[in-house]
Amino acid sequence: MNNNQKCFFIALSFLLNSIFVFSQGKPVDYLLKSEVKKKVLKYNQEINFNKAQVFFFGKNWDSTLVYSIKQLSSKKAPELKNYCHYFRAVSFLEKKIFNEAKKEFNLISSDFRFNYKVNFLLGEIALEQNEFKIALSHFNAIEKLSEDLYDFKESGVLLNIGLCHLHLREFDDAEKYFFRSVELQEVEKDSLMLISSYMNIANLYYTQYKDNQAIPYFEKAYSLSKKVKSFDLKRAAAKNMAAVEENRKNFQTALVYRKEYEAWKDSLNDQNKVWEIAEVEKKFAIKQKQKEVNVLAAENKAKIAERNGFLISSVLLFVLLGTGVYFYRQKIRNNKIILAQKNELDELNATKDKLFSIVSHDLRSSVNALKVSNSKLLDNLESKNYTELDVLLHKNSSIASGAYNLLDNLLNWALLQTQQSYFYQESLHLTSIVKHVEYNYKPLMLNKNIDFKSSISTSDYVFADLDSLKIIIRNFLDNAIKFSKENGTISIYSRPASEEFCYLVIEDTGLGMSEATRRELLKETILLSKKQNDDSIGTGLGMQLCKSLIRKNEGTLDIESEEGVGTKIIIGLPKFKNHG
Amino acid sequence: MDNINVLIVEDTPAESDALVKVLTENNYNIAGIARTYQDALTLFYQNTIDIVVIDVFLDGKADGITFAETINIVPNSVKPFVFLTSSKDRQIFERAKLTKPFSFLMKPFNELEILYALEMAVEKFYGQSNAFHSEDQNAVISNDSLFIKKNKSLKKVQIKNIVYIEVEDRYCNIITETEKFVILISLTKIIQLLDPAKFFQTHRNYIVNASKIQEIIVNDNLIVLKGNHKVTLSDKYKDFVKNFRVLK
């Protein structure tokens, strides 16, 4: 008897589970669905409701809970409130939070169209919580409703009512409801439910010790269970049969059923094991794959590293090559520059050497002339020839001043080259400066009987360095005197000037020069002109110095000359400070 | 009309002698010859000096510049000066240049050059550049003196001695208590340069030293000055009488 009791409870608990599955699994919600669709269309701006219903029908219970509470808290569209509560209740139910589900169901107002569903589900909750009377009252409330008008399964309701009666030990009522449900299930050809129902009926009889009535149902359930795939049902049916045969002391048969039961249990286990093995294998395979993937990834990494290494090293090499080439070219260019500079320096050095030789030659001859003249002077002094003394002394003086001028030019040239000299441009009164310079040459010109005319406008000012201007005028005046014949004329005057320049002209009626010489003189060259004839042409140093100084003062130089007629030296100097 | 007093700061006797010769020949008054920096300072502050000629190198040191720097410190007593130098060394020049106004003369120099340098020094010092060499002017006016170029040399007249100035074309007759001479300067320029508190224009052609006025005869349009000079007072300039307290 104990065994029977046990067997019954196993079957019963199993049955409850199966009812749950079935009542939700069948497409019995079509009415609810269409009604909800209508509401969605009506309240299309209630996004939360829309989402809640989508999740509800998609059996996504958590999301349903979230959106339904959002819809409820928005407090809009009270018509939807019942639906939301319903969604929440079902969701809680599915999550086996029965008390919450019950609360939600109770919040649904009594005029809700799907109250029968609420009743049904409340009944199931009560059944689950072993409150069979309450469950029975809920099921009874909907028992009489027509299946055609409402989307629920009458057989399920009947089965549940039967179960309630069974638990309440009201066997007659239980029997009645079980048979009605069997009838419906046979019509519906729902073999799974049918097996459960048969087993319930068998249990019903068995608990009342009506073994003869019970056994056919057990057998029916057993034979039907062979046709279905559910291992649980097969196992339960076999176990029931084993219990039955055991109670009939038919141990051999009981053993067979027991074995079958074990087999189904095993097969269930086997299947589980197979699943587990498959799972393990899968995991293993995944691990293996993962390993392979890892190996490949590592290989890839290594490859990438190698490639990067190649790339970096090649870039480095390229850069190295580039810098090498750059420095090589730089070196070549530097060499070129150095070579050019060397040539230039050589040339300059040669010029300097030549300058040295010319200057020393000049000085030597000057000093020599002075020496000769001095000895003559001494002779004359001894012979008391005083008239000759005057001539000789004048000669000495002119030789000395010539040598002095040469040395002065040399000094100025050196200062100019090394840029050591002070250079300061200011507005200068041209006439005064010219007068200062000519003052020193008056005796010399008088000696040569040169007619000197100076007619510079007193309003002429030039912007120049005083000392440079003096050197320039001195040199040109010196030249003019040097190249003038006796009784010649030298005139200094300023030409009608332009806005910016003042032109100073130094004109003589001396030897003049050829066009070639003129060009040579005006050339922008640092080379000294060659000495053409002994006395009349000097070192050319004075000319170079003048050109450099004029350039430094931002002036211009021009020469007009005709051989045998005379020369005009035209010096253009800025009147005002240039560039602000 | 007085001669110009020149102080020579030069350590080489031969050169100072030459300078003295040239300057005295041109009617400059040599106020003293200093051989050292200390001498120079003593002489400079003891005597009335109009121009200083300074050799940059005294006994091989650039004491000449030091001297110029020293006298430059006291702005009121500083006088125009000229540097003499035989070297165009840039460093020396850069230092000398700081003692503004700065004019210099390279050795060796001739008579014209030294005279020109002195004139330039005066021009630059009183900020009237090219005053002596332009075609329409030959005078520089300082606070207390009138420097006039006469022939090749400079002369000075104390401004307080001027009684009145008579303008004639581009010339101005300067009448002092003792003498009368002509300078070349425009009326506008001379009015600009003279102290407006002391000199007043009384007529298109007259500028009068107020301190020399003895009598103003308004009815006759006449001003009687010291030395019994009489100057016309034209209606246009009568306003200047308001500057005097009239006793009634």
**DSSP readout, A420-443?**
-B---EEEEEHHHHHHHHHHHHHH
**DSSP for residue A496:** P
pLDDT of residue A426: 87
Contact by Cβ (8 Å): A87, A64: yes
State the smallest CA–CA distance between residue B61 and chain A in angstroms. Answer: 19
Which among A12, A2, A1, A3 has a CA at the least distance from the CA of A203? Answer: A12
pLDDT of residue A572: 92
Distance between CA atoms of residues A238 and A230, nearest Å: 12
pLDDT beyond 50 at A17: no
Contacts of A576 in chain B (CB under 8 A): none
Mean pLDDT, to the nearest integer, of A45-51?
81
At position B145, the amino acid (one-letter code) is: S
pLDDT beyond 50 at A533: no
**Are the beta carbons of A458 and B112 separated by less than 8 Å?**
no
In terms of C-beta density within 10 A (0-12 exposed, 13-18 middle, 19 or more buried), how is residue A192 classed? Answer: middle
Q: Which residue has the higher pLDDT, B225 or A3?
A: B225
Residues 200-219 of B with CB under 8 A from A: none
Q: Which residue has the higher pLDDT, A3 or B58?
A: B58
**Are the beta carbons of A436 and B116 separated by less than 8 Å?**
yes
pLDDT of residue B7: 95
The token duo for A246 is 């055991």
ipTM of predicted complex: 0.85
pLDDT of residue A527: 55
Percentage of chain B beyond pLDDT 70 is 98
pLDDT beyond 80 at B18: yes
Q: Which residue has the tokens 């390993």?
A: A291
**Least confident window among A568-572, B6-10, B13-17, B108-112:** B108-112
pLDDT of residue A51: 83
Return the number of other C-beta atoms located less than 10 Å from residue A262's C-beta.
Answer: 15
Which among B83, B77, B73 has a CA at the least distance from the CA of B120? Answer: B83
**Are the beta carbons of B106 and A467 separated by less than 8 Å?**
yes
* A579 conformational bin, left if phi > 0, alpha if psi -120 to 50, beta if neither: left
pLDDT beyond 90 at B39: yes
- Which of A432, A440, A467 is the closest to B116 by Cβ? A432
pLDDT beyond 50 at A64: yes
Contact of A552 with chain B, judged by CB distance below 8 Å, is answered with: no
The 10s digit of each residue's pLDDT in A487-522 is 899 999 998 777 888 999 999 998 888 888 888 888
Residues 446-485 of A with CB under 8 A from B: 458-459, 461, 467
pLDDT of residue B23: 94
| Average pLDDT in chain A | 81
Distance between CA atoms of residues B125 and B72, nearest Å: 12
pLDDT beyond 90 at A163: no
pLDDT band, residue B17 (cuts 50/70/90): very high
pLDDT beyond 80 at A144: no
**Least confident window among A201-210, A288-297, B18-27, B155-164:** A201-210
pLDDT of residue A538: 59
Based on DSSP, count helices (H) and strands (E) in chain B, helices before strands: 6, 16
The 10s digit of each residue's pLDDT in A349-398 is 887 888 788 788 888 888 998 999 999 889 888 988 888 888 888 888 88
For residues A353-367, b (16+ Cβ closer than 10 Å) or e, as one string? ebbeebbeebeeebe
pTM: 0.58
pLDDT of residue B21: 95
Distance between CA atoms of residues A213 and A206, nearest Å: 8
3-state secondary structure of A564: coil
pLDDT band, residue A149 (cuts 50/70/90): low
Contact by Cβ (8 Å): A541, A410: yes
Return the number of other C-beta atoms located less than 10 Å from residue A122's C-beta.
Answer: 24
| Average pLDDT in chain B | 88
Which of A428, A466, A473 is the best substitution to test chain B (most B C-beta atoms within 10 A)?
A466
Residues 6+ apart with CB under 8 A from A571: A472, A476, A503, A504, A505, A506, A550, A555, A556, A557
pLDDT beyond 90 at A563: no
Distance between CA atoms of residues A34 and A361, nearest Å: 131
pLDDT band, residue A19 (cuts 50/70/90): very low
Residues 6+ apart with CB under 8 A from A85: A68, A72, A104, A105, A107, A108
pLDDT of residue B247: 66
In chain A, whose CA is at the least distance from the CA of B114?
A436
- Which of B106, B110, B133 is the closest to A440 by Cβ? B110
Percentage of chain A beyond pLDDT 90 is 21
Radius of gyration in angstroms for the set of CA atoms belonging to chain A, rounded to a whole number? 67
pLDDT beyond 80 at A62: yes
